[in-house]
Amino acid sequence: MNVLVLGANGQLGWELQRTSPGSIGLTAIDYPEVDLLDYDSIHKCINSAQPDILINAAAYTAVDKAEQDEGTADRLNHGAVRQISEICSSKGIHLVHISTDFIFNGMNHKPYQPQDTPDPISVYGATKLKGEQAVRKVLGPNATIIRTAWLYSAHGINFVKSMLTLMDTKPELNIIDEQVGTPTWANGLAHAIWGTIEKKVTGTHHFTDAGAASWYDFAIAIQEEALGLNLIQNEIPINPIPASQYPTPARRPFYSILDKTSLWNALDIKPIHWRKQLRSMLRELT
């Protein structure tokens, strides 16, 4: 079985490569070998890899920048995804596409189900939703769409690595305590994606680690775990603040816990709490 991963140099693309089962033939590609803003480039890349399965881990993920750059975000998160879906449809390739909790408005008080009504409140969320809709329109229920949230890994730029740098250089930190989600180690998501391929799981599902946290909770946990592992030397004050004290170009959902039951059941997954996963990732940095 040949699998093509797009977005190979991203956090998830990197984790997909190091968790890939030995039995598959893996081609992992990123910009500039493929430019998803260029239809011919997408076509050539898929033609040359001849995959049975395509995992699209590439995306325009700069949430704030997208507010000023809607055209590019839409071309990457929607236009390119429609083109990938059409090529997959014509060649009989199974598509696994990754989406986001940001397709929801965050006004829920209970975990979002896969079938809950989307209502994105940012350009990034809206373009990712249009991408999902294109996959469903072109490939129907045969494709696999997995929404995830708050990803981090030892590779790439993310909240955990930014916090470690700030904790070593700033006298104190102010972190938003109002937005609640689930920090998710991209490694666990990669394992789940390989699981969906092995068990032929299709449709729209959610995957994050288990549990919930605010960004403030997450920062506190990063500090505690990093001190224990000697990744940082000094404990600094971390202060909870409302979102209004840290304005960003893009609005973010206040609550974006995803209900993972359908995928956990389909894959027979034993959920792992986000804090345990955080510890595993931080150990990789020691």
Catalytic residue annotation: 124
Is residue 263 within the footprint of ligand NAP (CB under 6 A)? no
Asked if residues 1 and 53 have their Cβ atoms less than 8 Å apart, the reply is yes
Is residue 148 within the footprint of ligand NAP (CB under 6 A)? yes
Return the number of the residue (171 or 282) whose C-beta is nearest ligand NAP. 282
Return the number of the residue (37 or 241) whose C-beta is nearest ligand NAP. 37
All residues at 6 or more sequence positions from 200 whose CB lies less than 8 Å from its CB, including other chains: none
In whole angstroms, what is the distance from residue 208 CA to residue 102 CA? 13
Is residue 156 within the footprint of ligand NAP (CB under 6 A)? yes
How open is the CA angle 148-194-272, to the nearest 5 degrees? 55
Asked if residues 2 and 27 have their Cβ atoms less than 8 Å apart, the reply is yes
Query: How far from chain centre, in Å, is Cα 83?
Result: 21
Pick from 3, 5, 11, 223 the residue near ligand NAP by CB under 6 A.
Answer: 11
Question: Which residue number is nearest to ligand NAP in terms of Cβ?
Answer: 10
H helix or E strand, kind and range, residue 19: helix 11-19
Return the number of the residue (68 or 239) whose C-beta is nearest ligand NAP. 68
Return the number of the residue (147 or 275) whose C-beta is nearest ligand NAP. 147
Closest listed residue to residue 277, CA positions, set 204, 203, 208, 224: 208
Binding mask 104-143 for ligand NAP (x = CB under 6 A): ------------------------x---------------
Sole residue written with tokens 């999902």 = 132
Q: Is 138 helix (H, G, I), strand (E, B) or coil?
A: helix
In whole angstroms, what is the distance from residue 205 CA to residue 114 CA? 6
Characterise 140 by phi-psi region: left (phi > 0), alpha (psi -120 to 50), beta (else).
Answer: left
Pick from 3, 53, 57, 87 the residue near ligand NAP by CB under 6 A.
Answer: 57
Taking the complex as a whole, the smallest distance from the CB of residue 274 to ligand NAP amounts, in Å, to 13
Taking the complex as a whole, the smallest distance from the CB of residue 161 to ligand NAP amounts, in Å, to 12
17 burial (CB, 10 Å; 0-12 / 13-18 / 19+) is middle
Q: What is the DSSP letter of 75?
A: I
Residues 27-56 close enough to bind ligand NAP by CB under 6 A: 30-31, 34-37
Residues 68-97 close enough to bind ligand NAP by CB under 6 A: 76
In whole angstroms, what is the distance from residue 143 CA to residue 126 CA? 20
Structure tokens of 44?
């050539």
Is residue 188 within the footprint of ligand NAP (CB under 6 A)? no
Pick from 4, 5, 12, 282 the residue near ligand NAP by CB under 6 A.
Answer: 12
Is residue 281 within the footprint of ligand NAP (CB under 6 A)? no
Pick from 20, 51, 53, 61 the residue near ligand NAP by CB under 6 A.
Answer: 61
Among 115-123, 148-156, 168-176, 267-275, the segment contacting ligand NAP (CB under 6 A): 148-156
Residues that bind ligand NAP (CB under 6 A): 7, 9-13, 30-31, 34-37, 57-59, 61, 76, 98, 100-101, 128, 148-151, 156
